[in-house]
Each structure stands twice: as C-alpha cells, then as structure tokens.
Structure 1
Amino acid sequence: MEEVKENVRNTGISKKIRNIKNKGTDLSLRILAFIIAVIAWFIMSITQFPTINKTITGVHVDFSMNGTIAEDKGLAALNYKDLTVDVEIKGMNYEIGTYTENDLIATVNLDNVTKEGTYKLDIDVKSSHTTDRCTIVSVLPESIEVEFDRITQKTIDVTPEAPLISAEEGYTLKETSVSPKEISIGGPKNELDKIEKVSARISKSKKLSEDTPMQAEDLIFYDADGNKLDSSKFTFSKASEFNVNFVIYKKKVLNLSVDIGSTPDGFDKSSIPIKLSQDKISVITPHLDEPDEEDISLGTIPLSSIDLKRVFNFKIPLNTGEVNMSGNDSIAVSFDKKGYTSASFTLYADNIELIGTPSDFESEIDNEKIPNVVLYGPEDVISTLTDEEIYASVSLSDIKESGSYTKELMIYAKDRKNVWCFGSNEVQITVSKPRINESSESDIS
C-alpha cells in the first residue's frame, strides 16, 4: 500500500517538471520569432523599399534674430506671426519612416535682411537627427513676407479731444488742456514718422459750470491728413495716466459809459449828446461768483474839450483775468451835433467872480473883458443868449503870495444848465496885501 502512494507522488512531480520546461520553451520561441520579424522587416526595408517619400504637417517655424545682421543694426520684425509648414521629405524607410513634426527643424532665413524694408524670406527645414540621410523635397509655404524697421522713441504733445463736453448756460468753456502735456511713444521709425497728433479723448457727454479734470478714456493717433493710425504698432503709457482739464469762465456784460468832468455847478451832464461806438460788450471772467452785468466807466472827458466834432477813444478797462469777447479793445466816443450849435460871446470883468481869496490878501481882475468866448448848446438856447448872461468864476484858494497870476476861467451861462464853454479862457489877476492908510496907522500907534 505504501509503495502505491509513493508511485503516485513521483508521477505528480514529473508532470510539474514537464510543464515548466514547456513554458520556457514557448517564451524562447516568442522572443526568437520577434527577432526574426525585425530582421525580416529590416531586410525588406533595405531590399524591397530602400527609400520613401513622406509628408509631415504642422512643423513649427522658429523665428530668431540672434546673431544676425538685422539684430546688429537694431532692426525688428513688425508683422511676423508664428506659423507652421507642411514638409515633404525623402529618405531611407528605416530612418524616416517614424518621423513626426518633432524630428524636423524649420527656421526663417534672415541672411539678406540688412536694412529697413519688406522682405520675402525662405523657410529652411532640416532633420533634427544629423546622422539620418533625410532630403527635403518641398516646404509649404516655402517663404514668408516680413517687414523690418528700427524701433525708436518719439515725444509729442498731447491734445484734448472731448466733442461732447460743454459749459452750462451763462458759462463758457474757456480752454482745455492735458496733463501731462507730452507722451513718449516707442515703435518702428517709419510708423512713428507718420504720427502728427496724439489726442486724449473723452467720449462722454457732460455740461460744466466749474473747472473740472477728467481722466482720459483713450489715446488716438492721427497722421497729417487726420486719419487714425493703428495704435497696436506703438508702445506708450495708458490713457488713464492722462487728465483732460476743462477751464470754465462765466459770461458777463459790461455796460459802458463816460464821465463829463470840470462842469459848473448845476450843469446837466445828460444834456451832452454823447454817442459810444458800443455801449456794452461781452466779456468772460474766471471769477464765477461775479454778477451777470457790471457798469463800467471808460474815463472822463473835460467839458471844455467838447466841441461836438472831436472823437475821443478809450481803452476798455478789464478786471484781472477777464477776456474781451467783442473783438474791439477800445471805444470811440463822439457827439450827435443835430440840434446843437455854437456862438462867440464877450465876458465882461464885472461878471467874473473871484472865489477863495485868502483873508490876508486882496485880489483884482486886470482884464476889462474876455472876448471870443465860444459857447455850445441847443440851437434855441444859443440863439437867444446875450453877453450879459455870460458869467465865470475863478478859484484863488491856492494863492500863497502876492503877485500877478494867470488863472483859467470856469465860464457858464447864467440859469442855463445845458450850455457849456469850449476851449481854455484865462484871466489876469493881481493879488496884493491890503493897504493901511495914515489914519489907520496913527490909530494903531
């Protein structure tokens, strides 16, 4: 019985050994078969298909200016964009049969780029494996057009552009400026040369009643003909770094007049037929709290200088900061002669009044009469006027010493408030100390 069990055990062990041997033989056969297949493929590649043509798509083109003449001369490519090419290659099947886009190197040939301009440049392709016998049959596209220029800087003034900003009623937009007032722009020299104007633009609409700064929304580049330029070609500061400043002035009306000076007591100044070339003008002022209107005197005209023929010119006086909007900086003052006339009269010494003689002096008129005194006034008044109605006064309040003095007369027609004397009329006056008689001297003794 024991002998039977031993035989069974030996039989099981023998089976396991045979299975292991069979598996080892099978693995060896598989490896051998693979090696034979590779050798067969290699032989077939060499004998049956020694060379093949293959097209590889999507090969990236490398654009580099390192070490080129273009780089040495400071040129830059303006319009180049990354691209890929399709390449047809030819070579041994066993060498190029597994090629992909990563096994090829495509570059742009910059050998002919020596100055500014637009060039048609070849695209060169080669294998990245230096030992492989790979021939480039075709490249699509085979060339690319690239523009080259120098990159420089240009500084130009910035002008405001705000077509929809205005002032409220009663105000005016005096001026608009930009700060900072200049901008530095980098870019191709040929493109920079086209820039004639740079505007800081504000496109929103608003009415203003006081000075207001606003942040620029955009920077616009223009050529000499006013055409917009492509700003993507330039490098420059952001538009938000520029402020457009609006200066607001208030509109104001000046009511103009002239004064009449050196008039006799009671004279009616309104009787003078004055004409102004403009009796009011428009101005603008930076003082926003001032009234809408203001009365302004141009100056004074002496009454004795008015003969109804002469024209007086006065410069328009303005307050600090005001701007005259009329276009004229002076006003002509003339007189309407219609209904007025003149006549010559004689002034007698008895009708001359000496005023203000110092108490310790005596005064005496040397002239008996003053002839050819010219008076102006309404025709109906002058025609009825007589010499006896002509009077004058002389002020002696400034007398300090005795002596002979020539004094100007203030001449007028008695009880006539609209008649005046033209020209200068003088009288000779003697001023002396009072005489003391003999009886007075004995009394004093």
Structure 2
Amino acid sequence: MKKLDFQRLMDDSRFMKVLSVGVAILFWFVVAFTISPTITTTVSDVPITISGSNETLSSVGLDVVDGQNRTVRVKVEGRREVVGSLKPSDIVVYPVLTSVTEAGKYTCSLRAVKADSAADFTILSVSPEQVELTFDRVKTLKTELSVAVSGYTAEEGYILGSSAANPKEITVKGPESAVDQVAKAEVRLDGKDTKLAKTAKVEAEVRLYAADGSEIELGSTLSVDTPKVQVTIPVLKKATLPLKVAFTNLPSGLDGSALQYDLSETAIQVAGPAETVDRMTAITLGYVNVLDFDYKNGYTFQVQDQLPTGFVNLDDFDSVAVSFGSRYDGGSFTVSNINVINAPENYDISVVTRRLYGVKFVGLRGDIDALEGTDIVAEVDGSSIELKNGQYNVPVQLSTTSGAMVWPTGSYEVVVKVSAK
C-alpha cells in the first residue's frame, strides 16, 4: 500500500482550492454560532387572522367580507437556529378593529404576536403596517333550487319526467347587500341532443340570478353551501293500464270480485319508472267500504291521488266516476233471530233485546227483493264480552241464511245479561 504523500497534496492546486473552501465554511460556522448568534430575518406570506368570535365585530353584528385573505411580511430577531426555521404558522397577525362600528371600508392597523408565546424570538415589525378591510352584516338565505334542462330527449316509448336537484334547497351566505340581490338559485343543463333510455344523474353547478335575470357571480364574499348538486333526469316508460276499484269490510262469504260497477274511464295512459310499470297489471282508483255502500250516488276518485310514486297521468282526465246503475238496492228489516256464540263455561249470557229494528241491507236488486227478516241472523260473540255480572250493550255480526248477494250496512248492538253460574 502506498503511503499518503502530503507534500504532493500541498503542491496540488485543486486540492488546495477544496481545502480553502472547507476551512472558510468552518470559520463561518464558528463566527456565526459563537461570535454573532443573533440575526434579523423576514418571514413572508403570513396570513391575516380574524377570529369568527371577535367581540368587536359580534357586538355590532358585522363580519369581514373583503380583504381578509391577504398576507404580510414580518421582521423578526433571534438566535440563528431559531429564526432560521420559522414558518408563517409560527406568527399570528391580526387587525385592530376597535374603530369598526358599522358597515363599510376601514383601514386597520396590523399587530403580530408569536403563535407560541414561549418561542425564543422577537417580532420587530409588520409590513405593510395597515390593511384595508370591508365589513358588512352577513346574511344567510335558504332558497329552493330550480332546474332548467334542455337538449335531452327520450327513446321511443319513453318520456322525460320532471328533473330535480339534490339537495332541493341551498343556503346563500354573504354581505347583506349582496344576498338581497339574489332572486333565484338555479342549475342549468344542456344535453346537446342526448337521447336517453334510462334515468340519468348529472352533476351541475349552482348559479345565482338577480330579478332582472343577470347572473350574480359567486366569489370570496358571496357563497353557497353546496356549489355543485346532482340533478336527476327521470326517464319514464309509457303504458296503458286498466282501472278498477276494490271493496273493503266485506262480510265473510262475500266475494268482492263479484260486485259489478261502471267506470267513466276504463283505462288510463301513464308513464312511470320502468321497473314499476313492468310489474303492474292495473291501477286501483280507490276503495269502497261496503258497510257504507252508496249505491245510489256512486263515488268519484281523483286519479293523481292513486298513482304510484313517480307516475304521471298522460290522459286528459283527472277524475273517474264509479256508478252502479240499477244493479243494487237496499232495504230495512226487523231481525228477531239473535244468538250467542262462543259462550263461556262459567257464565250465562242471555240476550235481553228481543228484536232489532231498522236493520239495513244492500245487495243485488233481485236478492234484496227476495230477502226476509227471517233470513237474517244476528250473532253475539261471547268471547269478546267482559265477564262481569250485569247488563251490557254489545255489537252483533249480521249474516243471512239465504246465500244471496246481500250484506248489512252500518253497525248494530243488542243488550245482553251476564251472570255467573
């Protein structure tokens, strides 16, 4: 191994240059950190901070609407190793707001403090020393979001439904003077001749408009809580479906499908979500309570009230009349055949009422004409009676022994006597 020849290194000009630079750097560190450890420097891009809970602004109901997003430079002094690593977040710069008493523009002095009061450096100055800020009363406005859609069409056999935005409402916030100019919030979509075969969802930007139709620009002072919303463009499938009515409170043995009626409209053209339309065989207009059967006047049902969610009526009628013609009739009867069923073992239940008068039945005209009071049976269900000695009014269930297409309307009671055996 060759020995290191220091003499040759000393004679090498390149080595001497490198050595000189290294020695100079070493001496600089020695001077900087021992002889002159304190330096002055400037921290740039320090933001101006205005607390949302500032007492001065809160007391007069104002807020900063312009000028608060500026930055400043702060001159500091301290040990080189401390100030050399300072960041804008290590300093808090705030305006003095004691002169702010009403809405308007103010020139406010700036103050700077250390974010950490224990930090070992000194703040010397702020540049600029003042800032111009605009103050106003901040107002919020909740408004419905309208939707304007153009340039979209539906495939054959479909139609476009009413487009809707989600959310349906937005909140506008900003200076009172600016918010008061807002007359409408809207999203606008242009499909540029797009043809749809299924429901589409499109993201769109919210726009604000004044009463004269001019657009109001959103910015640092005027904002909305939801700048972009999702717009649903429904694509509805067309179909023609038969109409019908249903009957409720049918007595045992009475088949509702056997009850005949006439409709002013027997079918309707609608449009709705394809998955729902494909499952439907008819639309039920409403329900007829047979216990309150108005066979003389019939019924009228509003179509839109009975359509499933998301359906629209494509026909030119809004209501359908249900009539029964001369098929049905009614009569009043006296019932003396009153029995107790499901009687308890330890109590006697006797019927005090001997006859029920004015019992009303309706049904097919021919069956009503042939019905007699002796064909009607009134039954008291003993299992539903409170088992205490005494007399009570209790309901009865009415039926016929004739097998005719008839049924009772209204409700009826008899008096029974309960006594322990």
* TM-score, with structure 2 as normaliser: 0.45
* TM-score, with structure 1 as normaliser: 0.43
Larger radius of gyration: 1
